[in-house]
Amino acid sequence: MIPAVPPIAVPPIAVSRPLLFGLVAVGAIGAVTLDAPHSSFAAGFAAGAGSAFIVSFMKRAGEERDSVPRGPEDPQP
């Protein structure tokens, strides 16, 4: 019998926005220029990279907004 091992938490890998933007561009160009089966794959690739780009942008914007020091006259959100 194999003993149960607790799952190991793997930290997320930070990916730069320019890299994600480049992947979106490559996927979009591939979707336009390639033939049918490869075009669909490239379009899905661009959509996936684009959604990761947007999620990283939204997450970063939320972190920056939370880290802004507020004065006594500024209400908390």
* Per-residue pLDDT tens over the stretch 35-50: 988 899 999 989 988 8
Mean per-residue pLDDT, 46-65: 77
**Is the distance from CB of 30 to CB of 45 less than 8 angstroms?**
yes
Q: Tell me the three state secondary structure of residue 9.
A: coil
Count how many Cα atoms sit within 13 Å of the Cα of residue 22 in the half-sphere of its side chain: 5
Residue whose structure tokens are 């802004």: 68
Q: Does pLDDT of 74 surpass 70?
A: no
Q: Which domain holds residue 33?
A: 17-63
From residue 19, give the alpha-carbon distance in Å to each of 42, 52, 60, 77: 16, 11, 16, 32
| Cβ contact 41:26 at 8 Å | no
Per the structure, the count of domains in the chain is: 1
pLDDT of residue 57: 77
Q: Is residue 46 part of a domain?
A: yes
pLDDT 10s digits, 3-30: 777 776 656 666 677 888 888 899 899 8
